[in-house]
């Protein structure tokens, strides 16, 4: 109690200090009093991103971050040289391009969200080397690195480190680096990856502008935009880029596109032009329309690959898409973007890792009943190892870049509102501690098994009663949602419900988000089953066959031990009648086939004409399909639990 009182007193002093600052042009936009958002002339942000550590994982999400820590993230430097002690990003003679910065971009937030001592030490070491080895001209990173892309990537790590620690070295180093960039860019313009991924660098420059107000940072951001690829144009005049006519190129590259979801948003930040705001929505809808996949992102193996569920989605394109949406939500506050973020984060993301997070895939498929060593695959430009499981299948970018997904998702569950309140933009078990109106610090504990459960219980902890607005996202699928405080609200799905009142210590909010079963018709009129934020897939027996590597970190084929070629018996007008929902207590690790916390029991028949092709399932036959096979019971489990899966089912006709 005493600690709270002191905190509140300091907070009040800080708030007085803030309000005592003379009015400037920067105050023309409404911003949260405690957490930076866009400063004028940038357009107003919908939300401020909270400092790293303000939202801490609880419940199954906490366990998930522990699994990641004891899995590849905590152990990779011990045996994978590209992020080992010889990294050029630590002053050695080893890897000096993107892999070091990719690793730190996820390892650093994981360290602060788990407080794992070993990770914290690594975070200090990696960030410390960059901060302590800036060259006189302002350049950062290994002297051998002349590509702007990994340098911009390292800036993303620095912003997170600063948000967590307030380390006094960060702001001067970044300021000097961007000044150097402004001088150098006209002489050494962006090319290749840096040209496509410029917005990720501009994001850090804008982050710095919002903390220092230095106008040169907007100039360098606009220079990046002028030299960078125009994704707004590409997304608004989308050329489909579907297989097989287009080969491998940077414009239809999946990871670039995942990063680029936010690029028109950055263009809007820098210009305020409506066409860029429209291009954000065009990008989201066109990627879905032409390449959308049931797991929540799009197919690109490793370039755009169309809507067939046999095509692949690269791991890096999933976590980069997640990071893009986390930033788009802060920019625009669109609840549908939050729905999209949850769909990719709770389905495609866990679906591409082994339950212990020691093995990952390069490419995942929505229909993935077989992951076998073979040359012939459905993938356009990826090889026969792309959907195997291990340390470095196909190519090591995902090995370096798999670390940011969960920690950044946790960090962005809550954001601060311009009117000094808090917004729950996505849901999961966590605690958020932040300053609200009047400078009071409150904690909200979110207790839930979401996305496996439809009940979310929040409890407010506060030293004294405090009034502030609380925004709660109501997903578009949540028909009949209710918010219960001292009264019960029934807000509209696909919106934010705002509860503005005096909150006292121990006050509770109970959110009910009814999860009705929904059916989506997808490729060849196949059916995908959804319930709440989760997509459901056929549970297939798994044989994890080690074929390479040592016992500590082997590579696996993943082979089926049960049939997969089922057609679904479906009463589409009344899908609730076609499935029996069976829920189980959460058991760690939740994202595994055997521990699946929710099962949907359904009826199906084998479809003998639907066979294996190219070492995977053939494309699903056009529905409706016929089968004379006997009716069987099948079990669907969350996509992320089903490492072998069928997600787009043929539907049996009458």
Binding site for Zn ion (CB under 5 A): 316, 397-398
Burial 294-325 (b: 16+ CB within 10 A, else e): bbbbbbbbbbbbbbbbbbbbbbbbbbbbbbbb
Task: Provide the minimum distance between the beta carbon of 314 and Zn ion in the complex, in angstroms, as a whole number.
Answer: 5
Q: Which of 433, 456, 429, 428 has the alpha carbon at shortest distance from 443?
A: 433
Nearer to Zn ion, 223 or 318 (CB): 318
Nearer to Zn ion, 119 or 316 (CB): 316
The first and second tokens of residue 295, run together, are 């797991």
Nearer to Zn ion, 397 or 529 (CB): 397
Instruction: State which H helix or E strand residue 470 sits in.
Output: strand 466-474
Nearer to Zn ion, 54 or 398 (CB): 398
Task: Provide the minimum distance between the beta carbon of 602 and Zn ion in the complex, in angstroms, as a whole number.
Answer: 34
**Rounded CA gap, 268 and 309, in Å?**
33
Nearer to Zn ion, 405 or 429 (CB): 405
Task: Provide the minimum distance between the beta carbon of 251 and Zn ion in the complex, in angstroms, as a whole number.
Answer: 17
**Rounded CA gap, 39 and 588, in Å?**
43
**Rounded CA gap, 362 and 340, in Å?**
22
Task: Provide the minimum distance between the beta carbon of 360 and Zn ion in the complex, in angstroms, as a whole number.
Answer: 9
**Rounded CA gap, 120 and 343, in Å?**
30
Is 81 in contact with 94 (CB distance < 8 Å)?
yes
For residue 496, list its beta bridge partners. Answer: 473
Task: Provide the minimum distance between the beta carbon of 396 and Zn ion in the complex, in angstroms, as a whole number.
Answer: 8
Task: Provide the minimum distance between the beta carbon of 316 and Zn ion in the complex, in angstroms, as a whole number.
Answer: 3
Task: Provide the minimum distance between the beta carbon of 99 and Zn ion in the complex, in angstroms, as a whole number.
Answer: 11
The first and second tokens of residue 554, run together, are 């082997």
The first and second tokens of residue 90, run together, are 């630590």
Nearer to Zn ion, 363 or 449 (CB): 363
Task: Provide the minimum distance between the beta carbon of 83 and Zn ion in the complex, in angstroms, as a whole number.
Answer: 14
Task: Provide the minimum distance between the beta carbon of 255 and Zn ion in the complex, in angstroms, as a whole number.
Answer: 6
Nearer to Zn ion, 317 or 537 (CB): 317
Taking each continuous run of H as one helix and of E as one strand, the counts in the chain are 18, 25
Residue nearest to Zn ion (CB): 316
**Rounded CA gap, 611 and 280, in Å?**
39
Q: Which of 241, 328, 326 has the alpha carbon at shortest distance from 287?
A: 241
Nearer to Zn ion, 294 or 398 (CB): 398
The sign one gets for the Cα dihedral 454, 459, 465, 468 is negative
Is 350 in contact with 325 (CB distance < 8 Å)?
no
Q: What is the largest CA-CA distance in the chain?
A: 79
Task: Provide the minimum distance between the beta carbon of 101 and Zn ion in the complex, in angstroms, as a whole number.
Answer: 14
Q: Which of 187, 214, 188, 219 has the alpha carbon at shortest distance from 202?
A: 219
The first and second tokens of residue 505, run together, are 């210590």
Task: Provide the minimum distance between the beta carbon of 320 and Zn ion in the complex, in angstroms, as a whole number.
Answer: 9
Nearer to Zn ion, 111 or 386 (CB): 386
Nearer to Zn ion, 293 or 593 (CB): 293
Nearer to Zn ion, 268 or 323 (CB): 323
Nearer to Zn ion, 238 or 395 (CB): 395
**Rounded CA gap, 647 and 304, in Å?**
20
Task: Provide the minimum distance between the beta carbon of 398 and Zn ion in the complex, in angstroms, as a whole number.
Answer: 3
Task: Provide the minimum distance between the beta carbon of 102 and Zn ion in the complex, in angstroms, as a whole number.
Answer: 9
**Rounded CA gap, 216 and 507, in Å?**
46
Q: What is the DSSP string of 29-70?
A: S---SSS--PPTTSPPPS-EEPPTTSEEE-HHHHHHHHHHHH
Nearer to Zn ion, 363 or 542 (CB): 363
Task: Provide the minimum distance between the beta carbon of 290 and Zn ion in the complex, in angstroms, as a whole number.
Answer: 21
Q: What is the DSSP string of 519-533?
A: EEE-GGG-EEEEETT
**Rounded CA gap, 264 and 270, in Å?**
10
Q: What are residue 200's phi and psi, to 5 degrees?
A: -65, -30
Task: Provide the minimum distance between the beta carbon of 362 and Zn ion in the complex, in angstroms, as a whole number.
Answer: 6
> Nearest 10 degrees: CA dihedral of 538, 610, 615, 536?
-20
Nearer to Zn ion, 330 or 397 (CB): 397
Work out the angle at residue 415's Cα, subtended by the Cα atoms of residues 414 and 421, and round it to the nearest 5 degrees.
Answer: 110
By three-state DSSP, how is residue 343 classified?
A: helix
Is 350 in contact with 591 (CB distance < 8 Å)?
yes
Nearer to Zn ion, 316 or 425 (CB): 316
The sign one gets for the Cα dihedral 160, 30, 175, 228 is positive
């Amino acid at each position: 109690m005493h600690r709270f009182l002191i905190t509140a007193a300091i907070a009040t002093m800080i708030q007085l200090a803030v309000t005592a600052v003379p009015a400037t042009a920067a105050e023309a936009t409404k911003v949260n009093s405690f957490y930076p958002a866009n400063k004028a002339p940038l357009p107003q942000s919908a939300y401020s991103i909270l400092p790293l550590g303000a939202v801490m994982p609880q419940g199954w999400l906490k366990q998930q971050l522990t699994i990641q820590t004891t899995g590849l993230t905590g152990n990779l430097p011990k045996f994978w040289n590209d992020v080992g002690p010889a990294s050029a990003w630590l002053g050695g003679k080893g890897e000096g391009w993107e892999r070091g910065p990719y690793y730190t971009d996820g390892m650093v937030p994981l360290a602060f969200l788990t407080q794992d001592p070993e990770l914290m030490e690594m975070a200090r070491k990696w960030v410390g080397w960059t901060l302590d080895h800036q060259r006189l001209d302002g350049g950062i990173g290994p002297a051998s690195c002349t590509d702007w892309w990994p340098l911009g990537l390292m800036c993303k790590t620095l912003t997170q480190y600063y948000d967590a620690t307030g380390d006094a070295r960060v702001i001067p180093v970044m300021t000097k680096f961007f000044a150097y960039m402004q001088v150098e860019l006209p002489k050494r313009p962006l090319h290749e990856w840096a040209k496509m991924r410029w917005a990720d660098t501009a994001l850090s420059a804008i982050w710095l502008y919002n903390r220092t107000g230095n106008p040169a940072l907007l100039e360098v951001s606009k220079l990046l935009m002028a030299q960078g690829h125009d994704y707004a144009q590409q997304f608004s005049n989308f050329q489909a880029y579907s297989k097989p006519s287009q080969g491998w190129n940077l414009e239809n590259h999946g990871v670039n596109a995942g990063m680029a979801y936010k690029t028109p948003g950055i263009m809007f930040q820098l210009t305020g032009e409506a066409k860029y705001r429209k291009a954000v929505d065009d990008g989201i809808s066109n990627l879905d329309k032409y390449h959308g996949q049931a797991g929540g992102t799009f197919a690109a193996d490793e370039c755009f690959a169309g809507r067939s569920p046999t095509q692949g989605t690269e791991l890096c394109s999933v976590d980069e898409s997640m990071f893009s949406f986390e930033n788009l939500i802060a920019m625009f506050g669109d609840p549908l973007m939050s729905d999209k973020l949850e769909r990719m984060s709770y389905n495609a993301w866990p679906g591409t890792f082994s339950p212990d997070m020691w093995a990952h895939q390069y490419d995942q498929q929505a229909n993935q009943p077989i992951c076998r060593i073979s040359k012939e695959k459905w993938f356009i430009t990826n090889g026969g190892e792309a959907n195997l499981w291990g340390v470095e299948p196909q190519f090591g970018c995902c090995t370096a870049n798999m670390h940011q997904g969960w920690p950044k998702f946790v960090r962005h569950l809550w954001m601060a509102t311009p009117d000094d309140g808090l917004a729950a933009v996505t849901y999961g078990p966590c605690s958020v501690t932040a300053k609200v109106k009047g400078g009071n610090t409150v904690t909200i504990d979110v207790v839930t098994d979401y996305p496996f459960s439809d009940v979310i219980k929040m409890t407010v902890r506060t030293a004294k009663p405090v009034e502030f607005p609380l925004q709660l996202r109501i997903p578009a699928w949540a028909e009949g949602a209710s918010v219960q405080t001292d009264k019960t609200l029934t807000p509209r799905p696909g919106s934010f419900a705002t509860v503005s009142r005096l909150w006292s210590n121990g006050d509770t909010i109970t959110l009910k988000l009814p999860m009705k079963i929904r059916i989506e018709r997808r490729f060849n009129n196949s059916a995908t089953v959804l319930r709440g934020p989760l997509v459901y897939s056929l549970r297939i027996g798994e044989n994890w066959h080690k074929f390479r590597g040592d016992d500590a970190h082997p590579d696996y084929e993943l082979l089926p031990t049960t049939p997969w070629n089922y057609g679904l018996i479906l009463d589409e007008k009344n899908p609730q009648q076609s499935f029996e929902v069976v829920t189980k207590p959460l058991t760690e690790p939740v994202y595994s086939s055997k521990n699946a916390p929710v099962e949907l029991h359904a009826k199906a028949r084998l479809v003998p004409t639907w066979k294996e092709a190219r070492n995977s399932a053939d494309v699903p036959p056009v529905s409706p399909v016929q089968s004379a096979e006997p009716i069987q019971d099948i079990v669907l489990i969350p996509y992320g639990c089903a490492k072998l899966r069928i997600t787009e089912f043929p539907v049996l006709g009458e």
